[in-house]
Amino acid sequence: MKKYVFLLLAPFMLAAGLPSAEAALADSGLTLSCASCVLMEKETGAFLLEENSHEKLEPASVTKIMTLLLVMEAVDAGQLSPEDLVTVSAYAAGMGGSQVYLKEGEQMPVSEMIKCVTVVSGNDCAVALAEHLAGSEGAFVTRMNQRAQELGMADTTFLNCTGLPAQGHVTSAHDIALMSRELILNHPAIREYTTIWMDSIRNGEFGLTNTNRLVRFYEGTTGLKTGFTSSAQYCMSATAERDGMELIAVVMKSPSTNQRFDDARALLDYGFASYTVVPVYPDAPLAPVDVLLGAQAQVQPRLERDCRLLVRKGEEGQVTTRLSLAEDLEAPVEQGQTLGALEVYVGDELRDTVPILAAQPVERLSIPGIFGRMLSKLLMAG
């Protein structure tokens, strides 16, 4: 049997062949007011533009992306229901800053709490959710930092779940992009909340208007979170989708709210004008592979995953594929066993490698089975 060794490309390597994000920003002609920024494509995790992306800065309420990520993970895992009632503690009710003026002992469904966090950045709701999920804000913050480590957020230290000023509570544009991607990629239901422009709670008695004005005024906006304190200045992670491609624009330390939105809009505009994501398929359906000494004569191959490739606009016609499949495959074959690979090129450059796997197992023939097959062939020949 042929042996195959495949390089499994990490998400951020899928942008091979694209210009470096720093160089791209220098060549883009964009003039931004922020101290730090990142533009990322969601599906591949490729960084398209960045400047001072690892500078440790205060994130203000952009912190709540991690709060929302942990809450949505609990909801999607069945540990928390959107209908669960959250009882507000005196501590949560006293948070101050952006809030919906929760009262001690008030009860509100998880779904309403999430809405208040995403739409108006309610600090009181963020803390109430944290306490409900972990028992205390401190225990929840420990989870936040553990999750940050798991996501590779090396520039990040969380000290609270709200983003209220605290000495040493810092992250970076790079890390905000990582947690934003994790949230929108794996928990798409968050869009139900982050795309709300105006709504209300308490049976219509308390109105909500989204702090993210891009929801109302930028085509394709899907979220995500704004932040402001006097020390952090104006920050945001802005997400938008057009033509099947979703981008994440992170802006930190802009001097005004208008400049924050202008910077985010400029980054997104650049991304949509310059890049596209194209689906990639083999040139022909994958044919069954012969199996020697197998209980079945063939096994059906399948791609391990769908392939969607990020390319610069104008490169779509340069995308080609090369298919390699095992020969002289011998039973037993395990389901999921690697049979080959689909290599994806842009021009002469390899951009992605998708393993090809066995769709089902094939057991090896027993000794009696081998003789039975031989006898059957002899009888047929006679």
Catalytic residue list: 61, 64, 121
Q: How far apart are CA 103 and CA 93, in angstroms?
A: 6
Q: Where are the beta strands (DSSP E) in 271-381?
A: 275-280, 289-292, 298-299, 301-303, 307-312, 319-325, 329-330, 338-346, 349-358
Q: How far apart are CA 76 and CA 137, in angstroms?
A: 21
The single residue listed with the structure tokens 């993970």 is 73
User: Tokens at residue 16, please?
Assistant: 């091979």
Return the closest-CA partner of residue 80 out of 104, 102, 113: 113
Give the type of residue at 213: R
Please report how the helices 137-150 and 173-186 are oriented relative to each other, as an axis angle in degrees rounded to 10.
90
Return the closest-CA partner of residue 345 out of 322, 312, 313, 314: 322
Q: How far apart are CA 82 and CA 110, in angstroms?
A: 5
Return the closest-CA partner of residue 50 out of 150, 194, 155, 183: 155
Return the closest-CA partner of residue 320 out of 342, 338, 340: 342
User: Helix, strand, coil: what percent of the chain each, to 5?
Assistant: 35, 30, 35
Cα-only R_g, the chain: 26
Residues 6+ apart with CB under 8 A from 254: 33, 34, 35, 233, 234, 235, 260, 263
